[in-house]
């Protein structure tokens, strides 16, 4: 007979999975705010802007027009056509609507791709630092994440020699993210050329290109790995509307890939979520087919904030800074602060031993929430989101500087 303790135990799959550190820190900050504590949260990767009005109006019209029934699992044909046209117009890439699949956010689109491509025992290369969920998705697929550490000296970017050294007979995929979460790094055309030159020699290695921050780019050119004809059959583009159009809660992401990948993801998604929200799909269609000035307006605002936080962070003792070229994160190296001390609220002497300690110190002392670099496989760093007003950012970084100056 099964023990009660066994009955109340989640599956091994769930027990082996880590909780999302970014969501955990955001929840902790929210709890403190609920207690009346003035916490500034720089933890979540979410634009602080509202969804543009023309997109919201399209959603209202969709409700009035009764788009309230189940939609096709891969998304409305009109939305897939709009994405196809966006890829052609903005990126110079030819993907038919049949090569596009819509999911409930970029996270599901990416997880679909991972589960559709990887088998148990396969290896997937992860240049680190990287987004917190990549490793957990690979674990769900019963595959192995091969971490390749990319240091601050190369702006946290993978080199061709590192890539070549990481590929084995078991390598089935690599996940590339540009612009990067958490570092804000952007691969140049020359850097992408060098990676492409390696990958073309391994036609069985699939390339999952996370391009969700495509439009939040401060260097003027987005270079997709899908631009290389010799790699085209290996590439799965992952993108969506969350970051570019301030639509995080609408949960619309998509892939563009060879039809066998799309069909596999369609089969998978059909068994556990089916179609995504029909109203959100009509809103996303309006995002892609409507005015695009909103993207540039938000990009310019993020660039101003980037310049502001870089300037302020450079004044903080012990912070080693790279200038983000995209996304909306600052990812300073803070290892010079390890070993420093502070006195806690109980009068006890405490030591900053790692990025987790420093993140908790900032939350308790400065009431600023950030995410430890260990969450992104970079334990010497910490991530700050600058998707907040300039006034909020000035206050936050003043608090951070004062807290660091208290360390001894």
401 backbone dihedrals φ, ψ, rounded to 5°: -60, -45
Asked if residue 118 has pLDDT above 90, the reply is yes
Residue 354 in tokens: 């790692």
pLDDT above 70: percentage of residues in the chain:
99
The pairing of beta strand 123-128 with beta strand 253-256: unpaired
Residue 49 buriedness (CB in 10 A; 0-12 / 13-18 / 19+): middle
Residue 398 in tokens: 């003043």
DSSP 232: G
Element (H, E) at 343: strand 341-343
**Separation between Cα atoms, residue 326 and residue 210, nearest integer Å:** 13
Residue range 4-50+294-405, CATH number:
3.90.1150.10
- pLDDT digits 0-9 by tens, 178-215: 999 999 999 999 999 999 999 999 999 999 999 999 99
**Separation between Cα atoms, residue 245 and residue 225, nearest integer Å:** 23
Residue range 67-291, CATH number:
3.40.640.10
Domain boundaries, the chain: 4-50+294-405, 67-291
Quick one: how far is CA 199 from the chain centroid?
Answer: 23
Instruction: Spell out the residues 6+ positions from residue 150 whose beta carbon is closer than 8 angstroms to its own.
Output: 127, 128, 129, 156, 157, 158, 159, 162
- pLDDT digits 0-9 by tens, 347-361: 899 999 999 999 999
- pLDDT digits 0-9 by tens, 273-290: 999 999 999 999 999 999
400 backbone dihedrals φ, ψ, rounded to 5°: -60, -45
* pLDDT for res 405: 97
Element (H, E) at 382: strand 382-385
Q: How many CB atoms lie within 10 A of CB 220?
A: 7
Residue 258 buriedness (CB in 10 A; 0-12 / 13-18 / 19+): middle
Three-state DSSP state, 348? coil
pLDDT-derived band at 45 (thresholds 50, 70, 90) equals confident
Asked if residue 3 has pLDDT above 80, the reply is no
Residue indicated by tokens 């969709």:
62
Measured in Å, how far apart are the chain's first and last C-alpha atoms? Answer: 58
Nearest to 189 by CA among 154, 197, 258: 197
Q: Which residues pair with 384 in a beta bridge?
A: 330
Angle value at C-alpha 31, between 29 and 37, nearest 5 degrees = 75
How far is the CA of 8 from the CAs of 1, 2, 13, 406, in angstroms?
A: 14, 10, 14, 46
Residue indicated by tokens 């192995």:
144
| Contact call for residues 224 and 93 (beta carbons, < 8 A) | yes
Quick one: how far is CA 203 from the chain centroid?
Answer: 26
Quick one: how far is CA 289 from the chain centroid?
Answer: 24
If you average pLDDT over every residue of the chain, what do you get?
Answer: 96
How far is the CA of 267 from the CAs of 42, 122, 281, in angstroms?
A: 38, 21, 19
Residue 129: is the preceding peptide bond cis (ω within 30°)? yes
| Contact call for residues 154 and 18 (beta carbons, < 8 A) | no
Asked if residue 363 has pLDDT above 90, the reply is yes
- pLDDT digits 0-9 by tens, 374-394: 999 999 999 999 999 999 999
């Amino acid at each position: 007979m099964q023990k009660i303790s066994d009955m109340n135990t989640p599956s091994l799959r769930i027990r082996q999975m880590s909780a999302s550190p970014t969501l955990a820190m955001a929840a902790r900050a929210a709890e403190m705010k609920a207690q009346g504590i003035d916490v500034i949260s720089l933890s979540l990767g979410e634009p602080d802007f509202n969804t543009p009005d023309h997109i919201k109006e399209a959603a209202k019209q969709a409700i009035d027009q009764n788009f309230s029934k189940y939609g096709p699992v891969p998304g409305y044909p009109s939305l897939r056509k709009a994405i196809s046209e966006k890829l052609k117009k903005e990126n110079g890439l030819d993907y038919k609507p049949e090569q596009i699949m819509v999911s409930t956010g970029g996270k599901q689109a990416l997880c679909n791709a991972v589960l559709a491509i990887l088998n148990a025992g396969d290896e997937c290369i992860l240049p680190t630092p990287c987004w917190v969920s990549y490793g957990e998705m690979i674990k769900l697929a019963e595959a192995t994440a091969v971490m390749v550490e990319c240091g601050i000296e190369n702006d946290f970017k993978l080199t061709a020699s590192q890539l070549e050294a990481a590929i084995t007979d078991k390598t089935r995929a690599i996940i590339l993210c540009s612009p990067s979460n958490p570092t804000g790094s952007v691969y140049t055309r020359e850097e992408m050329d060098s990676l492409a030159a390696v990958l073309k020699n391994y036609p069985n290695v699939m390339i999952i290109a996370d391009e969700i921050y495509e439009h939040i780019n401060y260097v003027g050119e987005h270079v997709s790995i899908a631009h290389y004809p010799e790699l085209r059959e290996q590439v799965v583009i992952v993108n969506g509307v969350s970051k570019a159009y301030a639509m995080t809660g609408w949960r619309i992401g998509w892939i563009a890939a060879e039809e066998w990948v799309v069909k596999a993801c369609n089969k998978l998604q059909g068994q556990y979520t089916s179609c995504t929200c029909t109203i959100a799909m009509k809103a996303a269609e309006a995002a892609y087919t409507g005015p695009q000035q909103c993207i540039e307006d938000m990009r310019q605002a993020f660039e101003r904030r980037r310049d502001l936080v870089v300037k302020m962070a450079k004044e903080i003792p012990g912070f080693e800074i790279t200038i983000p070229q995209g996304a909306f994160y600052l990812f300073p190296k803070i290892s010079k602060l390890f070993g420093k001390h502070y006195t806690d609220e109980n009068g006890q002497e405490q030591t900053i031993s790692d990025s987790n300690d420093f993140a908790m110190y900032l939350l308790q002392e400065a009431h600023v929430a950030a995410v430890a670099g260990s969450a992104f496989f970079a334990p010497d760093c910490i991530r700050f989101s600058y998707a907040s007003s300039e006034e909020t950012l000035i206050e936050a970084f003043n608090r951070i500087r004062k807290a660091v100056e208290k360390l001894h």
